[in-house]
Amino acid sequence: MTQDELKQAVARTAIDYVVKNEIIGVGTGSTANFFIDELAKIKGDIKGAVASSEATAARLRGHGIEVFDLNDVADIAVYIDGADEIDNSGAMIKGGGAALTREKIVASVARQFVCIADGSKLVDVMGKFPLPVEVIPMARASVARELVKLGGTPKLRLKPGTDEAFVTDNGGYLLDVAGLSITDPKALEAQINQIVGVIAVGLFAARGANVCLLGTAEGVKTLK
Ligand code: 5RP
C-alpha cells in the first residue's frame, strides 16, 4: 500500500469516532484532508466543524460543511488530526503543515483527540522530525538563541522556493528545531512555552492523543 492509501484507510476508520449531531474539530494536512473528504459523505449527521487552519476551513466549506468560529462554540466532541511523529504515550510532534497553534487551541477544547497517521509516524523517542515552534516575528532571533541553549538547531521556515520567511495563518514565523532527542515531551513542551516570544510549540504532550489510528500494511491499528 502507498502512504496515501494508508492515510486514506485511517481517515475512513476515523469516521467511527465522529459523534452525531455534534461539532467536530478538524485538523490540517494531507491525512486530515482525506478525513474531510470522508466527513463530507456523512455531513448530514453532524452540526458542523471547527477548522484548525484557513486551508482546512476552505476544504470543509468546499464540501458544504458549515465551519464555526471557535468563539461561538463551547464544546467540541472530538478533534481529529494527523501528526508528524507520535510516541506510545500519545504525545506528538505536529506543525509540519504550519497549523500547530490553531491545532493546539482546537484540541484544547475537544473532549477527545483522535490522531490519524500512517504507521511510519510511530516512534520510540520523538525528535527526528524537526520540532516546529511558532514565534512572534520580532522574537525570531532571541527565541532561536534560547532553543540552541536547549540543544536544538533552529532553522527559519521559508516560503517554498524563496528566501522569504513563511508566515502562518496567525502572522507568526516558524522555527524548525532539529537535533532534539525528546525523552521527556511534557517537560520540554513546558520549557519551550516559557520562552518569551513563543506563540506555540508543536509538542502535544500535556494534551496528547486519546486514541491513535495507525495505517499499516496489516490494517488500521488502534493505540489507546
Ligand atoms: C499540520 C500538522 C499535520 O497534522 C502534520 O504535519 C501531518 O501531516 P500529514 O497528514 O500531511 O502527514 O501538524 O500542522
Whole-model pTM: value is 0.96
Q: What is the ipTM of this complex?
A: 0.98
Active site residue 134: no
Q: Decide whether any atom of ligand 1 lies within 6 Å of the 27 Cβ.
A: yes
Tell me how far the alpha carbon of residue 55 is from its chain's centroid. Answer: 13
Catalytic residue among 38, 66, 85, 103: 103
List, for residues 42-60, the tens digit of each pLDDT value. 999 999 999 999 999 999 9
Below-70 pLDDT ranges, the chain: none
What gap in Å lies between CA 5 and CA 180, rounded to an integer?
30
Check residue 1 and give its pLDDT.
87
For residue 99, give the ligand 1 atom closest to its CA: 14
Measuring CA to CA, how many Å separate 136 from each of 8, 23, 95, 144, 198?
35, 31, 16, 12, 6
CA of 50 to the centre of ligand 1 (A): 17
CA of 71 to the centre of ligand 1 (A): 24
Check residue 222 and give its pLDDT.
96
